């Protein structure tokens, strides 16, 4: 594995081994070529990068702290736990790192209209935020079921001036929002920029979103070295589409001593079939522009997923994760709804940080992993988002009316 030049992937056609690629209708091929060209051009452009860095500092609030969760570490009696505080970013999650970058590209391309899909609403809010700041028209597609679960975020997007379209087709969740955003894009491709929120979709999105999110891992690596003089032993992050996880993992790929663990949503338990864990229990197929692990039936139809967290409720996953899984460079586990809820409460009461339900899946795995490690070892967990948006869901599950 040491022979892999991680920077060389994806290849020119967007492949990570057998995964990734560009599986879209012909109408979008030209727009994707255009996007790839502009992204490659500006990624090496000092003026663009300076503008991006400025926005990340002044608007997002980067760098985000790497916080040593001493009380939780002590209680668990194992590895030292460090939390990369993406929840402290403007808009409350890692999503904005990417929307800032893509919006700057949209501006360079002269596009006047932004569209996006959203599950939990974090990516929708982050997109509506940058669209408001740049004065661009903004339409957010969100599954009807998710608009119900995430009402505070729907209102936030509307306050920011976005039109929120509740998608009523299919399972009325994130995958259907993505279908509808694709349909909008194919219709309005001349003036519209589609800001995909995760490391999935047709090339160049998985690579581009990864590159915008890799700031998480670059900062964490440097911060951890500075604080402890060494690299962490393990990285843990939740995986829906997988953007916060790849953002943390990618800058560490060549550091062979660093273990990487992605945590999928096990829902009611992988054995029940009611989950959102394609890497743990799916198989390779083609959906939403890329080849990757999917949850599908024997006829290749995509099957309904389940998770308490809207942001992880997706039947696919970014193609780079599919590849890292096959290579064994990262491993993927699942955590049930109940375990995630327990993680949510534990972090809140022990460290005074309310995590998003998505992030709570990573917390739950850390609770299991840390005691198996020594106190001179360390774990960096991506605290990808804050939990304010989930208070209704948590209260409802626990029979509390707010």
Residues with a known catalytic role:
95, 117, 384
Binding residue (CB under 8 A) for another protein from 245, 253, 287, 322: 287
Binding residue (CB under 8 A) for another protein from 4, 29, 159, 254: 29
* CB of 32 vs another protein, minimal distance in Å: 10
285 binds another protein (CB under 8 A): yes
Which of 29, 50 has the CB closer to another protein?
29
Window of 235-243, 287-295, 360-368, 393-401 that interacts with another protein by CB under 8 A: 287-295
Phi, psi of 322 (to 5 degrees): -60, -40
Burial of 226 (0-12, 13-18, 19+ CB in 10 A): exposed
At residue 116, the 3 state secondary structure works out as strand
- CA dist 147 and 93 (Å) reads 18
C-alpha separations of 344 from 31, 75, 220, 359, 362 in Å: 41, 16, 22, 8, 10
Site track for another protein across 118-157, x = CB under 8 A = ----------------------------------------
Binding residue (CB under 8 A) for another protein from 38, 43, 109, 186: 186
Window of 30-38, 154-162, 205-213, 268-276 that interacts with another protein by CB under 8 A: 30-38
In the 8-state DSSP scheme, what is residue 271?
A: G
Q: Structure tokens of 55?
A: 């926005």
C-alpha separations of 313 from 31, 96, 119, 249 in Å: 28, 20, 7, 21
**Angle of CA points 160, 164, 167, to nearest 5°:** 160
**Closest alpha carbon to 268 in 316, 332, 340, 331:** 340
* CB of 240 vs another protein, minimal distance in Å: 17
Binding residue (CB under 8 A) for another protein from 41, 187, 272, 372: 187
Say if CB 97 and CB 215 are below 8 A apart: yes
Site track for another protein across 295-314, x = CB under 8 A = -x-xxxxxx-----------
* CB of 188 vs another protein, minimal distance in Å: 8
Binding residue (CB under 8 A) for another protein from 41, 58, 151, 169: 169
Binding residue (CB under 8 A) for another protein from 289, 343, 355, 387: 289
206 binds another protein (CB under 8 A): no
Binding residue (CB under 8 A) for another protein from 4, 6, 11, 27: 27
According to CB under 8 A, which residues from 61 to 90 bind another protein?
none
Which of 139, 160 has the CB closer to another protein?
139
According to CB under 8 A, which residues from 328 to 357 bind another protein?
none
Who contacts 319 (Cβ-Cβ below 8 Å, separation ≥6)? 10, 16, 19, 20, 21, 199, 200, 206, 290, 291, 292
Lay out the sheet containing 234-238: strands in order across: 66-68, 80-85, 378-383, 234-238, 259-267, 331-336
- CA dist 85 and 65 (Å) reads 6
Q: Structure tokens of 6?
A: 């991680």
At residue 25, the 3 state secondary structure works out as coil
191 binds another protein (CB under 8 A): no
170 binds another protein (CB under 8 A): yes
Interface contacts to another protein, rule CB under 8 A? 13, 21-31, 33, 169-170, 175-176, 179, 182-183, 186-190, 284-289, 291, 294, 296, 298-303
């Amino acid at each position: 594995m040491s022979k892999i030049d991680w920077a060389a992937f994806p290849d020119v056609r967007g492949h990570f081994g057998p995964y990734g690629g560009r599986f879209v209708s012909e109408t979008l091929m030209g727009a994707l070529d255009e996007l790839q060209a502009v992204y490659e051009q500006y990624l090496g452009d000092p003026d663009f990068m300076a503008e991006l860095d400025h926005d990340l500092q002044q608007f997002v609030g980067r760098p985000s702290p790497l916080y040593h969760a001493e009380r939780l570490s002590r209680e668990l009696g194992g590895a030292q736990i460090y939390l990369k505080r993406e929840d402290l970013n403007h808009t409350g999650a890692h999503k904005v790192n990417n929307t800032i970058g893509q919006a700057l590209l949209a501006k360079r391309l002269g596009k006047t209209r932004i569209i996006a899909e959203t599950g939990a609403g974090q990516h929708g809010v982050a997109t509506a935020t940058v669209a408001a700041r740049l004065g661009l028209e903004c339409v957010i597609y969100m599954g009807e079921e998710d608009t119900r679960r995430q009402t505070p975020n729907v209102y936030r997007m509307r306050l920011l001036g976005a039109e929120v379209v509740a998608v009523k087709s299919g399972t009325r969740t994130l995958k259907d929002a993505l279908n509808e955003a694709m349909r909008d894009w194919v219709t309005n491709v001349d003036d519209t920029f589609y800001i995909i929120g995760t490391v999935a979709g047709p090339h160049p999105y998985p690579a581009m979103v990864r590159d915008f999110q890799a700031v998480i891992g670059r900062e964490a690596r440097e911060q951890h070295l500075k604080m402890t003089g060494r690299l962490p032993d393990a990285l843990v992050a939740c995986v829906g589409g997988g953007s916060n996880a790849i953002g943390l993992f990618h800058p560490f790929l060549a550091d062979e001593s660093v273990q990487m663990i992605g945590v999928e949503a096990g829902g009611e338990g992988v054995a029940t079939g009611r989950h959102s864990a394609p890497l743990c229990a799916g198989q390779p197929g083609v959906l939403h522009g890329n080849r990757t692990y999917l949850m599908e039936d024997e006829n290749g139809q995509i099957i309904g997923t389940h998770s308490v967290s809207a942001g992880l409720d997706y039947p696919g996953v970014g193609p780079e994760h599919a590849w890292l899984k096959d290579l064994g460079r990262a491993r993927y586990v699942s955590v049930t709804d109940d375990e995630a809820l327990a993680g949510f409460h534990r972090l809140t009461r022990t460290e005074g940080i309310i995590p998003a339900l998505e992030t709570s899946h990573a917390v739950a795995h850390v609770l299991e992993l840390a005691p198996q490690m020594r106190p001179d070892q360390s774990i960096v967990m991506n605290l990808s988002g804050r939990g304010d948006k989930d208070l209704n869901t948590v209260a409802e599950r626990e029979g509390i009316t707010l």
